[in-house]
Amino acid sequence: MAVIYGSNNWKLSVKRGTEGVTILRALTCDARAALPDALFGMPVTALGDRALAAGASITGGEEIDVIGAPAAGEWDNQALRELTLSPLLCRAGDYALMNCRALETIRLTDRPIVWGTGALMNCRALRHIEITRSDGSAGDAAAYFSGELSCELDISVLSDGRRVSRVILPEYYEEYVENSPAHHFDYKVHGAGQPYHHVFRDRQLRLDAYDALWQKLISGEYEPDTALRLAFWRVCCPEGLGGDAGARYRQYLAAHADDALRYALSLRDVSPLCTLLKQLDFTAEVLRAAADLAREERDTAAVAVLLEELHRRAGAEKSFEL
């Protein structure tokens, strides 16, 4: 058995091929883990059937122990919450992530990947997808996950280490209700998310089509928390955002100013807060309330940003033209 050192703990069973390494089985005891990008000097390009299925045992192939931080917990992937896949992955086998019930976040590169049947079966906590753009090799990761999962999805796209877009796809679910007298089933869709999960053309996300759904969303029954986050991230990560759509999002955030700033503070990251302050003209009262909240949370960076904004606006109000 080979032993290598890495940032995470893994027990791997692998098979070498002419174009790369296939991981047949991968078990970890960590909550956050990244699969190796390369083994034996070769890229990791595939996951076998049930490769990370929770509870699966190691059988066949070359066995490798990857040693990271001191191991704690069971080696069954039951505690795995965040998973980073190899940037050169091109295939994931049938039921590759089955029963990873704690898995909340997947990070991968946006290159073409062939996903097997039921690869995400019972991954009921999966909500966050983080996609890094590859050089000239646009994949369809967002389209795949939105088609497989009807829950709310939070999809971020990164380029050169910077988040360039972040979209929220609201939840929906489909229901077939038996209509006994007529001897047929009535099809019903619940929730506002179905059209958002289908704003793809040629497997690519169409941001203009995504933005066009906003008015329909807030005109019907919707979750205010979901709408707030949807508008917030389109304003803070405005790739492809047109002027009219941007104005509608900003109008909604302005009408929910306290909630928007409260959400920004919950992120514990001043970057989106700074972007929001540049995009919207908050009143001094709202800014002071946000600064008080940040002070209570001991978020000194946010307090400094909010006080600086208050100082800037106070100075602007007191300026005179001679």
Three-class DSSP category at 27: strand
How many alpha carbons lie under 13 Å from residue 147 in its C-beta half-sphere? 15
pTM over 0.85: yes
Residue 34 makes CB contacts below 8 A (sequence gap 6+) with 7, 8, 83, 84, 107
- The Cα 194–Cα 153 span in angstroms is 12
State the pLDDT at residue 322: 37
Q: In the beta sheet, which residues pair with residue 153?
A: 169
What is the CA angle 127-130-136, rounded to 5?
140
User: β-strands 21-27, 62-67: how paired?
Assistant: unpaired
Residue with tokens 């996300």: 205
State the pLDDT at residue 176: 76
- What's the token pair of residue 47? 């996951």
Mean pLDDT, each 10-residue run in order, the chain (322 residues): 91 95 96 96 97 86 92 91 97 97 97 96 97 80 96 95 94 82 76 93 94 94 94 96 96 97 97 96 95 97 96 66 42
- The Cα 55–Cα 292 span in angstroms is 47
Residue 51 makes CB contacts below 8 A (sequence gap 6+) with 23, 24, 25, 26, 92, 93, 96, 97
Q: Are 235 and 263 in contact (CB under 8 A)?
A: no
- The Cα 107–Cα 132 span in angstroms is 8
Residue 244, classified by CB atoms within 10 Å of its CB into exposed (0-12), middle (13-18) or buried (19+), is exposed
- The Cα 299–Cα 301 span in angstroms is 6
- What's the token pair of residue 1? 């058995």
- The Cα 156–Cα 132 span in angstroms is 8
User: β-strands 162-169, 128-133: how paired?
Assistant: unpaired
CA-CA-CA-CA torsion sign (307, 309, 312, 313): negative
Residue 283, classified by CB atoms within 10 Å of its CB into exposed (0-12), middle (13-18) or buried (19+), is exposed
- The Cα 84–Cα 36 span in angstroms is 9
| 149 closest CA partner among 205, 104, 186 | 104
Residue 30 makes CB contacts below 8 A (sequence gap 6+) with 8, 9, 68, 69, 71, 73, 79, 80
C-alpha distances (whole Å) from 312 to each of 274, 302, 306 are 13, 15, 10
| 138 closest CA partner among 158, 106, 109 | 109
